[in-house]
Structure 1
């Protein structure tokens, strides 16, 4: 009897495993025969958590803009799940050279691009097999699965596909189901690419995810993607350039994993490629960011994406099905866990080495500047769990970001100090270094991003020590000092925080003036763009004092000066024509085919989540029927179809509206559509003809092509600070140039521009021919047209939401340019 009982007890776990429903059994259809909506995916994970609670724990980590749940599944052996927090703590001790961790930690991220939809389907098969056939992988491994990083984008695609597909489906690549529209499912609600947001954390999905990621810092992180239909599968090792901080072990372990994948793909006769296209440089990807935090970070790319649907005929006449795509991602997911399981000890040993003290060139990055910008950067550092402090005064010597040379800088009690001698020291180096070292100029993304330039702060990178403390001193604002007897109040204009305050004032019906000339009053000096809020202008406001007090409480960073008189010490009095009202403008933006979804999304997000100012969106499909007189400002986001879209009729409609007093803001590719009309002052720069003829080898065409490209480089520009478009800036601005599009200076309207001596980047790569082309060209400018204005933004001041120092230019275009 005891023998029988013992046998039954041994068989009991296998009995439990056999009782778990597969995804196909649970969903009621074969996995890969339909796309699974997000809530159904969560239903399956909830089912697993209830059916195997000792081996899978499901935890919410946030919600999306459209209120969909963001969840993580923690999967491991029963003994590990019951001890999960202790395992996490022991693992993190390893970053400090302490503890004796024994478990490997693997994090798998699926569906960061919503219409790269196969990965979420694959995640369900992967987690099922981890709990059944492959459960032995979990003895010494904790697997963290994010089944859908981008639920809003995924459901947008799945719902669209279900609406437009044939029954059961059509493999003809020209059929409607293979041609997703402009409002695609790739990006999140705000049309942001979440795979490029890991470092900048502009989106709620990224912010919530990284909070948990920093609590684990896994050994291995995989980001599952899809690429073009005709491309074979891609997996590690990555292509050059690798950033120089990436360790030899990280490089070699990518090869180890890649070879294990290749073993399974070879057995099945599946095609794949490695070491091409997808490099490890730009820090805001799902492979690079984890790599800079000690992980083996990898991207896996399956052919398919939003075009493939449930099945499609490829370029060579084969049929690629969703089931095929699931099988490939499922295979690499399990193969990754298998390798981690086999190398848990080595992963822990090398993870500790990664976090040992590094001999970095610079010990500290010290930053001076506007306190709003310093605080904005400090908030980003907090989200990354990067340690920092504030200086005690004195001076510091080192590399001066403003000059590009060695120099010195005076520091104050408000100077931000970011040391590299800390747990996140490697990440600090990557984000702050003046220029990333390139082992190969052919890259997949931008080649420059240094945070001092992005935030518009003066900075010195120093090898020396810097004394610091934990907090900066703040000056008191005028909150609590607003009353009905003061003549008025003055606010500086030099940061996005100031623009937010202005937007809030206008939304609350407070009348505000702006100064077009520098002035001094009551012994204090103010620059162009300063906001003047007068009691006399607001005597009919329903509750001026109460509203101002509430707004100052909501914007504690604002430091208002109380003006006792409108009679200035020097400059122009408050009643001068040089001190006029800020208009509460009604703003519209074009959406649809001529625009880029990403460029559109940056502006949309800027208005709703940063500036907090209303925006109307006008789709191109009905734009011709819109009465533009309803709007004061029209924004044309960057895009690629404007030359065709801006026909004679539309061009005339927009010109007539501008001449009647409208303000047009044209960005990036939208300028191309205006430049062909002689009424617009903007003109493409005429390239000098090269009279020499050379023949390049066939194999060298890519190298030759990059001579004409700028892959996200930082250039130092000249600023005309007297131009309303440049209020709040000094005499120079570091712009992030994303291409070689070039336009001549505007006569009298060039606010920011490049001279012949400024066409070489201070950071990042620009091809030799491209640098010649951009010499003496416009960056930002404006043109008067009748009673209205046209603002041209050749470079993108809102790029990916992270170029903080460009955002005031956009606010100037809205509120300062008349």
Structure 2
């Protein structure tokens, strides 16, 4: 009788709770799934829950987007747990050191990282309501952290577009406008970056702000909710190969445990699903892999639909897929995830402790040296990840040399650092720094190489023994700006130097550059050196103060000189010491350009270089007078025959008059061949006598990847006498994203691949390697008084390949 009364009281309590709380449909005033909910309305509902169920929901704002929308997190648990939330967090983190006795499961659910994969935010509202009412028992030993919308700017862009163009009632015919987003889709954020590729690189403010909180919790389980093509059934864990080798047996097995529980519910409803296909666990910057490398069970869930589906759409087999269907599927896997985590809270805590025990990795330390600005840029990234590092000022270290790809030595006499795997983030260190990730399968979903020493342009060795760091050294600028000097000199090696130059130009300071090495007053300077003379700026009010302020801001070492008479090289009045003009830059958007690739350029100018940029959309580009601009950037994309004969003639004439085109990736195809430009695409020649027998259909994908490059790192040769390559050494490690290849230019080959070049890291098919042999990477072609700059590889890819960005700055400021 006592047990019966207790159960009755519990049921009455749950019933009263459910009556007190409004469901999403009751609060919003429409049935969930019959409309898309704007972001501010989603925030309103979560605020309502945090106010009405304050003992079980805590709402925090962890940041703001570029378009000023709030980024929120909801902490959901039992009243007892929520009252002790900070104690639970601290005890959980003690497990990393092996000193905690945590017993609660920590589950983080991330929704709507891709804005037009909009169902997940709707599902989040249904999920939190169910957790607070019918499934509150899951919360007794579980803290659920919910991010209802990782990408509010993209989501509202999609929702507002859909509400503009949908039929009333909505039209399920897939040909209707409401199922066809335009060029600027809601998938990406404000700067058109894919936030699901930014977890490790942290180029976007959404990622940077989110990771601060993520690192304060480091959950046991993290789910990233997505959508895929309309005709695809639901996907959930376990993931496909390749799995990165650091992923533990438990992390693999628990994915299966979760998948089987999801399948139980899907089977009962007759819903279709698949596992172990397509979505692998290798690339470290995803919402599933990054948490895995920090000790979590990281997973991607994919519902069919995306921006094409709208409120409902007819599928290829004649069924109608509705938004309500999509909500139910994500709702089911979300609850199932919390259920299984709650049932296995003890095991999750035990394995979390094991994960963070000292790992026996092959390489114990990564020793790096290089330009101070590049080291500082890497340090800044590591600090955002809570990765420890130390400084080195001297010593010789043996290990795997990143420069040669074999064993070697690295001598440091200044500007060195070391990063060890013997730290709480040791697994993440191994993944981000390893010279070459081990592939269990060459069929992957993303790039296969990303090693940070290559990305940041640093000399490095990976050592099998631990290397102790030295005490932190203070970085002191040795600027010597004397008001009576003839000129002020500074080097040109990094993006920090490019930002310094951009700031000077924006303030109206006139700057020259050296096209030849020189020595003056006993000091040596390389090509690209910035020369700021008193004579050029005598009409600039507060010239010295402006120069001093900008030099201090960018921590620049400035050398003052009392003369323009050099010891060797060219005097400062030589025609080889050219004035750097402040270029007026335009970039093409829309139509033929890739949304993501355009976004990388936009973000580079506004958030990295801090230099003005005019965006010209293809809809009205033919009405724009190009003579108003000095530089035209053509982003990667699919141009086809975008430029007609008259437009190509006008482009060529504009270049001859002194204009500059920066053609990137696929835009080069619009200029090659018989179009009056010198670039020529390479073709793969079949070897004589090559066997050409039919291949089994089942092998077609394996045959296809022989001609593919899935994000591999190649060592290229550099002509650093070319202004496009000022600030670089004789070699450059380039991230190659495809097998498109172009012949060497007649002259102006700044960066190129030599014969039989193989990848240093990552996968490249044998046919692709043959195609790119002896091909151009970056080059300059002169036309009259202007230039065309060809960028076959993308130096701005996802904003993380730090060492490539100076090429783009050179294209703007050094090439003339």
Q: Which residue of 2 aligns with 1:565?
A: 563
Asked whether 1:670 is paired with 2:667, we answer yes
SS at match of 1:552: helix
Q: Which residue of 2 aligns with 1:390?
A: 391
- The within-5 A match list for 1:611-650 is 611-640=609-638, 642-650=639-647
Q: Which residue of 1 aligns with 2:725?
A: 726
SS at match of 1:717: strand
Q: Which residue of 2 aligns with 1:485?
A: 484
The CA deviation at 1:546 is 1.8
The CA deviation at 1:474 is 2.6
Match for 1:767 among 761, 765, 768? 765
The CA deviation at 1:118 is 0.2
User: Using the alignment, how far apart are the partners of 1:8 and 1:448 within structure 2?
Assistant: 58
User: Using the alignment, how far apart are the partners of 1:14 and 1:82 within structure 2?
Assistant: 23
Pair 320,222 (structure 1): closer, same or farther in 2 beyond 3 Å: same
User: Using the alignment, how far apart are the partners of 1:432 and 1:418 within structure 2?
Assistant: 9
User: Using the alignment, how far apart are the partners of 2:471 and 2:216 within structure 1?
Assistant: 22
Q: Which residue of 2 aligns with 1:178?
A: 179
Pair 725,392 (structure 1): closer, same or farther in 2 beyond 3 Å: closer
User: Using the alignment, how far apart are the partners of 1:11 and 1:136 within structure 2?
Assistant: 14
Match for 2:681 among 673, 679, 684? 684
The CA deviation at 1:473 is 4.5
- The within-5 A match list for 1:65-214 is 65-214=66-215
The CA deviation at 1:413 is 4.5
Is this contact kept in 1: 2:33–2:311, CA < 8 A?
yes
The CA deviation at 1:463 is 1.1
User: Using the alignment, how far apart are the partners of 1:339 and 1:266 within structure 2?
Assistant: 17
User: Using the alignment, how far apart are the partners of 1:143 and 1:4 within structure 2?
Assistant: 30
The CA deviation at 1:5 is 14
The CA deviation at 1:447 is 0.2
SS at match of 2:807: helix
Q: Unmatched 5+ residue regions in structure 2?
A: none
TM-score of the pair, normalised by structure 2: 0.98
Q: Which residue of 2 aligns with 1:219?
A: 220
User: Using the alignment, how far apart are the partners of 2:447 and 2:772 within structure 1?
Assistant: 18
User: Using the alignment, how far apart are the partners of 2:9 and 2:765 within structure 1?
Assistant: 71
User: Using the alignment, how far apart are the partners of 1:593 and 1:449 within structure 2?
Assistant: 30
User: Using the alignment, how far apart are the partners of 2:397 and 2:438 within structure 1?
Assistant: 24
Is this contact kept in 2: 1:797–1:809, CA < 8 A?
yes
Is this contact kept in 2: 1:391–1:466, CA < 8 A?
no
- The within-5 A match list for 1:523-562 is 523-556=522-555, 558-562=556-560
Is this contact kept in 2: 1:486–1:563, CA < 8 A?
yes
The CA deviation at 1:522 is 1.4
SS at match of 1:241: strand
- The within-5 A match list for 1:733-748 is 733-748=732-747
Q: Which residue of 2 aligns with 1:421?
A: 422
Q: Which residue of 2 aligns with 1:53?
A: 54
Is this contact kept in 1: 2:108–2:144, CA < 8 A?
yes
Render the CA deviation track for 1:362-382: whole Å, top value 9, x for unaligned.
Answer: 110000000000000000000
The CA deviation at 1:210 is 0.3
SS at match of 1:297: strand
Match for 1:798 among 785, 796, 799? 796
Is this contact kept in 1: 2:38–2:159, CA < 8 A?
yes
SS at match of 1:752: strand
Is this contact kept in 2: 1:413–1:472, CA < 8 A?
no
Render the CA deviation track for 1:551-591: whole Å, top value 9, x for unaligned.
Answer: 123212x1111112111111111111110100100000000
SS at match of 1:807: helix
SS at match of 2:728: coil
Bigger drift between 179-188 and 388-397 goes to 388-397
The CA deviation at 1:542 is 1.8
- The within-5 A match list for 1:696-735 is 696-735=695-734
The CA deviation at 1:477 is 2.9
Aligned length, in residue pairs: 811
Pair 144,470 (structure 1): closer, same or farther in 2 beyond 3 Å: farther
Pair 672,172 (structure 1): closer, same or farther in 2 beyond 3 Å: same
Render the CA deviation track for 1:82-101: whole Å, top value 9, x for unaligned.
Answer: 00000000000001111100
Pair 90,570 (structure 1): closer, same or farther in 2 beyond 3 Å: same
SS at match of 1:445: coil
TM-score of the pair, normalised by structure 1: 0.98
SS at match of 1:536: coil
Bigger drift between 685-694 and 521-530 goes to 685-694
- The within-5 A match list for 1:651-666 is 651-666=648-663
Is this contact kept in 2: 1:667–1:796, CA < 8 A?
yes
The CA deviation at 1:7 is 8.8
The CA deviation at 1:392 is 4.5
Is this contact kept in 1: 2:14–2:133, CA < 8 A?
no
User: Using the alignment, how far apart are the partners of 1:6 and 1:330 within structure 2?
Assistant: 27
Q: Which residue of 1 aligns with 2:381?
A: 380
The CA deviation at 1:394 is 1.2
Alignment RMSD = 1.4
The CA deviation at 1:677 is 3.5
The CA deviation at 1:4 is 12
User: Using the alignment, how far apart are the partners of 1:483 and 1:270 within structure 2?
Assistant: 75
Is this contact kept in 2: 1:223–1:299, CA < 8 A?
yes
The CA deviation at 1:687 is 2.1
Render the CA deviation track for 1:267-326: whole Å, top value 9, x for unaligned.
Answer: 000000000000000000000000000000000000000000000000111000000000
Q: Which residue of 1 aligns with 2:810?
A: 812
Pair 287,10 (structure 1): closer, same or farther in 2 beyond 3 Å: closer
Is this contact kept in 2: 1:392–1:467, CA < 8 A?
no
- The within-5 A match list for 1:306-325 is 306-325=307-326
The CA deviation at 1:678 is 3.7
Q: Unmatched 5+ residue regions in structure 1?
A: none
Is this contact kept in 2: 1:720–1:752, CA < 8 A?
yes
SS at match of 2:669: helix
Pair 567,765 (structure 1): closer, same or farther in 2 beyond 3 Å: same
